Structure 1
Amino acid sequence: MALLTTLSDVIKGCPRNIKRRLLRDILIILFVTSGAILAIVLVQGIKTQRDISTAIITKANRQVKTHFKSFTEPLSNTLKLLGKWGEAGLLKLDNPKLLATQLQALMEIQPNVHAISLADEDGNDIHLSHYNQQWFLHEHQQSKAVAARWVEGDIIDIKESNGDTFNPAAMPWFRGAMTLGAEKEYFLTAPYILKATEESGITASLRWARRSTPDRSYVSAISFTTNDLMAFMKQVKITANSQILLLQKSGSYLNNAINNTLAADTPSQVGGTALSKQLLETVIQKLIESNLQDNQVISIKNNGQTWWLGLSPLYAANNDVWVAVLIPEDDIFADLNKQWLRFGLVAGSILLAGIIMTIFLVRRYSHQLKDLPQQHIDRYGFENEILALIQAGESGTLEFKSTMRTNLKTGKVGKEIELAWLKAVVAFMNSDGGILLIGVDDAGEIPGIDVDNFANEDKCRLHFKNLLNNHIGAEFTRFIHLKIVSIKEKTILVVECERVRRPVFLLVGKNEDFFIRSGPSSMKLSMSQMVKYLSER
């Protein structure tokens, strides 16, 4: 209870008790220092959060790309194998049955391969695809097209057509492979609709030439569906609730289910987690705003939840397909938030311990601390404070005078009355400061200053100011403050005097007298006494 009472007294205003002022100032230092440290920690914490999020997102992007590489590496090896077979003359477009047998063998050991194509510069090609447990063979020889089913090594259900406008040499996968200078590098297309099955897919292609005809180029191509790609990418799990989304650079998702739900105001289920329409649209917006810049890490607010988004191209050679890694902030900072709680408890305990130690030390050494003299009256509750001062009686910092200028015995204005209270003002300023109450007699009664017969308050203030200028000096008036207040329906003057480091003299005619406070009265010092007093002050 004593602790709470002390704190309450300190908080309530500006205590004049030296112990409480010391306690207040030390507590202010404690709180300001703690606040500054807390602010620095918070700023650094925010920076650390972003650094951690960026590091996790960047690592996740690398992990996704590595996983994608593990998806495409077998396809790349198959393309290289086809290239080697082609260079050796083992792939023959004029023998579709043998070629289909070779391609089927490769596709059966790689379930992700949807189709394999082989084409030359003249528009001739053979295309074997696998769909709904069936094999389909398409052959183009200039303007002639053949579509058939491939069943157990036989070509059946053959359908021929003339005047077909399909030209494999005009396909993106063919043109892309032809533009690559090195025959050992493969080209990866943007997602498009595969002709044979009308599914969305991506094609990897490689250019090669037979050793016997090095000037004639061929292209082998392997296609896979975007659904197979996304199913494979779902195997990557960064955090418990992280999501990996694939987008085209135009801003549409590879997952048609997501694109369909964007038109409706219902969440889309991705990997068992509901992603709102607003969040999915925000991802597209951030991709467009990024101007297709790599390694973008962005914070997103959605439905009161913060997500961290990382954007990067899936394939280093082009930016047709982008991967968006979405991780809820709670997944990243679950452990960090617990550490913040522990830090807050420790910091709060240290601050509380500091407050208790401060109060203990101030109370322990309170007998060595001297109270400061009162020099001011608070604006709020001044009546109670003045009555308390009057009840305490005159002291080294408090003096009463009945009037400003009127001699109560004669009823006339007397210069000696004015000089009497001016002497007290000078003494206060040369000592520790103090308060002069005019309108209060020596017995503590409050007759007021009505007997001084001032026409109004302004006349009173003007007379007060003139006396200060004439007998103390205008340069010292800034240390003297006059308040005119009403106490018990009586008007009194409250003169607040500050301590002044320079010597202050009372000017009476040609004399300059130096006064100091000695107990409840003012004492005049001789020249030698004044010099000694000022040297020891």
Structure 2
Amino acid sequence: MSLSVAFLLALVFGAALGLAMRQLMGNRVRLGWSEAVLSGIVGSAIGALTISLIRGGYYREHWLGMLLSSALGTLIVMVLVGYFTRQPRPTAAELVAAGESARVEFKSTARCNLHTGQRDEKIEMVVSKTVAALANSGGGDLLIGVDDAGQARGLDDDLKFMKQPDLDRYELWLRDHLSKTLGSTASANVEVTFPLLDDTPICHLRMLGATRPVFLTPGKGQPVQMWVRVGNSTRQLGVDEALSYAADHWGRRRLR
């Protein structure tokens, strides 16, 4: 096999490897499919050239080393491209200024019914539905303590239901609630922070796009539910819709 043919095979291998790595990394990298293919080709070429220079040329018995170096080169290039092309994540203030959207939702409270002033399990469940819907729809942000008009209400309405009304207890309750309703894996993928908005602390939940469907368990003995974002609203899917949606977004192997 000539050196030119070997390099051509390495480039084809790199393109396929770039696609495969992009699929495996999912939302952990901000790379489009075309960028992943180009990164695979460039990385594979660099890896193949490196091993050829080290070996003093290409020999048939070195094909495994060339493939491994191509894979390593592809991974390095993808990581570098992902790092230098990543966009800074918007702050809570920037999200509020932009308003609600398919990826951004505001909630005045997570526990308190503002009409009755009492704790309301339905409102708590709405938080879980929104988190699940955003995770199932590519990721997004939920801001608690912000009303529909984008005004900061803060967390005092919810904190009064805590034994100790502080933000640490609030986060512990929130994670425990999400773990019970969405599962520990989905809960662990939620980033929780407490930024200031107009000098008032709010709760900012940031969700990555889920790598497999996130289902909501509304209560003991009740069937699981699947929620997604449709525009700037949260919608429950029926069984057939959920299966079709999951197969389209994650592939059938993710449903096992």
Normalized against structure 1, the TM-score is what? Answer: 0.30
Counterpart in the other structure of 1:423:
129
Partner of 2:14: none
Who is 1:406 aligned against? 112
Amino acid aligned to 2:215: F
**Alignment equivalent of 2:227, drawn from 507, 515, 530:** 515
Task: Report the identity percentage.
Answer: 30
Q: Could you list the per-position Cα deviations for residues 183-225 of structure 1 after superposition, in whole angstroms to 9, with x for gaps in the alignment?
A: xxxxxxxxxxxxxxxxxxxxxxxxxxxxxxxxxxxxxxxxxxx
1:18 and 1:406 map into 2 onto residues whose CA distance is: 40
Aligned partner of 2:208 in structure 1 is 498
- 8 Å CA contact 2:92, 2:195 repeated in 1: no
Give the AA of the match of 1:463. Answer: W
| C-alpha spacing 1:445/1:33, structure 2 compared with 1 (3 Å) | farther
Q: In the alignment, residue 190 of structure 2 is paired with which amino acid?
A: I
Output the CA distance in 2 between the equivalents of 1:459 and 1:433: 25
Please name the residue that 1:140 is paired with: none
CA distance in 2, matches of 1:518, 1:426: 13
Aligned to 2:196: 486
Name the structure with the higher helix share: 2
In 2, distance between residues paired with 1:33 and 1:438? 48
Q: 1:526 — aligned with what?
A: 238
Whether the 8 Å contact between 1:434 and 1:497 is mirrored in structure 2 is yes
Residues 1:471 and 2:177 aligned together: no
Contact 1:439 1:448 in 2 (8 A): yes
Tell me how far apart the structure 1 counterparts of residues 209 and 242 of structure 2 sit (CA, whole Å).
16
Structure with higher Rg: it is 1
In the aligned structure 2, how far is the partner of 1:409 from the partner of 1:18?
45
Letter in 1 for 2:242: M
Tell me the distance in 2 between the aligned counterparts of 1:481 and 1:428.
Answer: 13
Aligned with residue 390 of structure 1, among 83, 91, 96: 96
Cα offset, 1:517, TM superposition: 0.8
Q: CA deviation at 1:465?
A: 1.5
Structure-1 residue corresponding to 2:148: 442
- Say which SS state the counterpart of residue 505 (structure 1) adopts: coil
Residue equivalent to 1:452? 158
Instruction: Give the drift of 1:501.
Output: 2.9
1:210-252, Cα deviation, whole Å (9 max, x unpaired): xxxxxxxxxxxxxxxxxxxxxxxxxxxxxxxxxxxxxxxxxxx
> Number of matched residues?
177
Could you list the structure 1 runs, at least 4 aligned residues long, displaced by more than 2 angstroms after superposition.
Answer: 16-19
Corresponding position of 2:171: 461
Q: 1:428 to 1:416 in 2, by over 3 A?
A: same
One-letter amino acid of the counterpart of residue 521, structure 1: S
* Cα pair distance change 1:535/1:393, threshold 3 Å: same
How far 1:467 sits from its partner (Å)? 0.4
Q: Distance in 1 between matches of 2:211 and 2:166?
A: 35
Structure 1 residues not aligned, in runs of 5+? 1-15, 45-371
Give the letter for the 2:227 counterpart: F
Q: Which secondary structure state, in structure 1, belongs to the residue aligned with residue 131 of structure 2?
A: helix
Across the aligned residues of Structure 1 and Structure 2, the Cα RMSD in angstroms comes to 3.1
1:112-191 pair list within 5 angstroms? none
Picking from 206, 230, 247, the partner of 1:535 is 247
| Contact 1:450–1:491 under 8 Å retained in 2 | no
CA distance in 2, matches of 1:387, 1:502: 30
Cα distance in structure 2, aligned partners of 1:432 and 1:450: 31
Distance 1:530 1:398 in 2: 22
Give the Cα separation in 1 of the matches to 2:169 and 2:188: 19
Q: Which has the higher strand share?
A: 1
Of 469-478 and 422-431, deviating more is 469-478
Partners of 1:463 and 1:536 lie apart in 2 by 34
Mapping of 1:303-322 within 5 angstroms?
none
CA deviation map 1:481-531 (0-9, x unaligned):
111222221111111112223221111122211111101011101111111
Aligned-partner residue type, residue 517 of structure 1: R
1:4-46 CA-to-partner distances (Å, cap 9, x unmatched) read xxxxxxxxxxxx9878x959x96xx69x959x97xx79xx9xx
1:362-381 equivalences under 5 Å are 378=89
Distance 1:17 1:392 in 2: 21
TM-score when normalising by structure 2: 0.61
The amino acid of 1:417's aligned partner reads I
Deviation of 1:432 after TM superposition, in Å, equals 0.8
SS at match of 2:209: coil
Quote the Cα distance in structure 2 between the aligned partners of 1:461 and 1:412.
20
User: Do 1:485 and 1:493's aligned partners in 2 also have CA atoms closer than 8 Å?
Assistant: yes
Letter in 2 for 1:393: G
Partner of 1:234: none
1:402–1:439 contact (8 Å) kept in structure 2: yes
Q: 2:194 & 2:227 partners in 1: Cα distance? A: 26
Q: Which of the pair has the greater relative contact order for Cα pairs under 8 Å at 6+ separation? A: 2
Q: Unaligned regions of 5+ residues in structure 2, if any?
A: 1-28, 57-85, 250-256
Contact kept, 8 Å, 1:394 with 1:400, in 2: the verdict is yes
Which secondary structure does the structure 1 equivalent of 2:194 belong to?
strand
Q: Which amino acid aligns with 2:114?
A: L
Read off the aligned partner of 1:493 and give its amino acid letter: C
Spell out, residue by residue over 1:46-97, the C-alpha distance to the aligned partner (whole angstroms, 9 max, x if none).
Answer: xxxxxxxxxxxxxxxxxxxxxxxxxxxxxxxxxxxxxxxxxxxxxxxxxxxx
